[in-house]
Amino acid sequence: MNQLTDTFKLYNGARIPGVGFGTWQIPSGETTVNSVKKAIEAGYRHIDTAADYGNEGSVGQAIKESGVNREDLFLTSKLWNTDRGYEETKAAFEETVKKLGTDYLDLYLIHFPANAAQYDNWNEINLETWKAMTELYQAGKIKAIGVSNFKIHHLESLVQTEVKPMVNQIEYHAGFTQDEVVDYSKNHDILVEAWSPIGSGRLLENESLKEIAQKYDKTVAQLCIRYVLQNDILPLPKSVTPERIEENTHLFDFEITDEDMKAIDAMENIGYSGMDPDEIDF
Ligand SMILES: NC(=O)c1ccc[n+]([C@@H]2O[C@H](COP(=O)([O-])OP(=O)(O)OC[C@H]3O[C@@H](n4cnc5c(N)ncnc54)[C@H](OP(=O)(O)O)[C@@H]3O)[C@@H](O)[C@H]2O)c1
């Protein structure tokens, strides 16, 4: 990968620009519109939003105002937890595309699996939801479908369906790499996307990361995003700060050595969000 718009190829042949712009916690309105427009201006062609973020309308507005054609952008949204189920998923999808001002999505993800802590029939709920996602995909309304925050036991029944997930978006960053679910996903041709590639900012003051970043004359944010890419995982950095949005695109003029990759691999348990998909109660 040599530039922001180089792509990963999903198993169905769809191509996905290798770095996406994250929009979690960006308030709807001016802040989202300006941040997404700035990201597109800086070269991002892949935007990651979700119904739960409450900013789909503003993301749609930014896309319109950007002057870049819809078909030249890769747009992801996610189905929220209160909309799981067959009919509910179809209705939520329509609501999402309406808010985004588009008639299709490039990628639609189940935001969180139904879990055993909340539902006896959690697997059934996930399969019903997946059935609706599959039908929307087969109808051509979504170019690729996937999941988010799914662990191996959540994925096991979905990979046996007619259309298995193409993407699993999980928390992944230096200090928290979830190797087992990453290996399982990769072994099933499921692309892994990294949410919080800089640990939502929690990695920025880490002394070891600072030291390594300095060697390359890069910032910790750039090092962390590059670390994800070098592991063949798709990073989704977020920022509302124009200079940082720009900074986070300068990832292709350095390469982390094997030795430094190993040193980062060895940094366990830093920056973890604490959000375990098996334990969430929302
Ligand atoms: N599927 C899920 O459940 C899930 C969960 C979490 C996140 N996500 C996705 O993943 C995306 C990224 O995750 P994230 O938003 O948690 O965090 P992140 O990208 O790891 O970190 C964002 C934080 O780092 C700061 N930052 C960004 N670039 C910087 C730089 N170059 N220098 C200094 N600070 C910098 C940002 O500050 P400013 O914004 O103030 O500049 C913000 O506070 C989300 O936006 C969302 O799209 C998905």
DSSP 34-101: HHHHHHHHHT--EEE--GGGT-HHHHHHHHHHH---GGGSEEEEEE-GGG-SHHHHHHHHHHHHHHHT
Q: Is residue 106 part of a domain?
A: yes
Contact call for residues 4 and 30 (beta carbons, < 8 A): no
Ligand 1 neighbourhood includes 244 CB (under 6 angstroms): yes
Q: Is residue 252 part of a domain?
A: yes
Ligand 1 neighbourhood includes 241 CB (under 6 angstroms): yes
DSSP for 104-150? -BSEEEESS---TTT-TTHHHHHHHHHHHHHHHHHTTSBS-EEEES-
Atom of ligand 1 nearest to the CA of 243: 31
Q: Is residue 282 part of a domain?
A: no
Q: Is residue 280 part of a domain?
A: no
Contact call for residues 110 and 136 (beta carbons, < 8 A): no
In which domain, by residue range, is 120 found?
7-265
Q: Is residue 277 part of a domain?
A: no
Question: How many CA atoms, within 13 angstroms, populate the side-chain half-sphere of residue 221?
Answer: 14
Q: Is residue 278 part of a domain?
A: no
51-82 pLDDT tens trace? 999 999 999 999 999 999 999 999 999 999 99
Gap from CA of 79 to ligand 1 centroid (Å): 20
252-269 pLDDT tens trace? 999 999 999 999 999 989
Q: Is residue 281 part of a domain?
A: no
261: Cβ contacts below 8 Å, ≥ 6 apart: 227, 230, 231
Q: Is residue 276 part of a domain?
A: no
Max CA distance (Å), the chain: 53
Output the pTM of the full model.
Answer: 0.99
183-242 pLDDT tens trace? 999 999 999 999 999 999 999 999 999 999 999 999 999 999 999 999 999 999 999 999
87-136 pLDDT tens trace? 999 999 999 999 999 999 999 999 999 999 999 999 999 999 999 999 99
**Mean predicted lDDT score pLDDT of the chain:** 98
Residues in the chain: 282
* The total number of structural domains that make up the chain: 1
Ligand 1 neighbourhood includes 200 CB (under 6 angstroms): yes
127-154 pLDDT tens trace? 999 999 999 999 999 999 999 999 999 9
Q: How confident is the model at residue 39 (pLDDT cuts 50, 70, 90)?
A: very high
Predicted pLDDT at 268: 87
Tokens 């830093």 belong to 270
The Cα 204–Cα 224 span in angstroms is 9
Q: What is the CATH number of the domain that holds 183?
A: 3.20.20.100
- Does residue 53 have an active-site annotation? yes
Ligand 1 neighbourhood includes 35 CB (under 6 angstroms): no
